[in-house]
Amino acid sequence: FGATLCVLGLIFGEWVNRYFNFWGWTYFPINFVFPSQLIPGAIVLDVVLLLSNSMQLTAVVGGLGFGLLFYPGNWPMMAPLHLPVEYNGMMMTLADLSGYHYVRTGMPEYIRMVEKGTLRTFGKDVAPVSAFFSAF
């Protein structure tokens, strides 16, 4: 179960980094910078290696499972931010409300350029398309 132990160590180090660097020094909101959840994908990697005893099959099938489970594994942390709230007579999500209240530093042109994105051609749901193609 090497992948799971490595991922647990990585996530522990990322939480230490997020807490001390983002919250401790700059007071950046911690719910904006939480690390990605990698444990479900690591468990799939370990199970495929345990059942197949083949590194090549683990690289192909386990990597496919790791990529496909990345978005659903992070959904429990992101789902509360998509709840609707009413604020000053307008309906928006908690993520939008947090983004409006926390002032981002940067030039408006750069922020507009980053927010454009090229995956918008796939329609509204970009994350499932990204998760599917990450498996390759």
Q: Are 70 and 41 in contact (CB under 8 A)?
A: yes
Task: Between 132 and 121, name the one with better pLDDT.
Answer: 132
pLDDT digit string (tens) for 19-75? Answer: 898 888 877 777 778 888 899 999 999 999 999 999 999 999 999 999 999 889 988
Q: Positive or negative CA dihedral for 60, 62, 67, 72?
A: positive
Strand, coil or helix: 109: helix
Select the more confidently predicted residue: 89 or 29: 89
- Distance in angstroms (rounded) separating the CA atoms of residues 115 and 79: 20
Q: CB-based contacts of 50: which residues, under 8 Å, 6+ apart? A: none
Closest by CA position to 34, among listed 4, 65, 77, 70: 77
Asked whether 41 and 61 are in contact (CB, 8 A), the reply is no
CATH of 2-134, one of 3.40.50.1980, 1.10.3720.10, 3.40.50.2300, 1.20.1450.10: 1.20.1450.10
Strand partners, 84: 93
Which range has the top average pLDDT, 3-7, 78-82, 106-110, 120-124? 3-7
As a whole number, mean pLDDT of residues 75-88 equals: 88
Residue 14: exposure state from Cβ atoms within 10 A (0-12, 13-18, ≥19):
middle
pLDDT of residue 84: 92
Of 18 and 111, the structure prediction assigns the larger pLDDT to 18
Q: Where are the domains of the chain?
A: 2-134
- Residue 44's pLDDT is 94
Give the pLDDT score at 123.
Answer: 57
Question: What single-letter amino acid sits at 31?
Answer: N
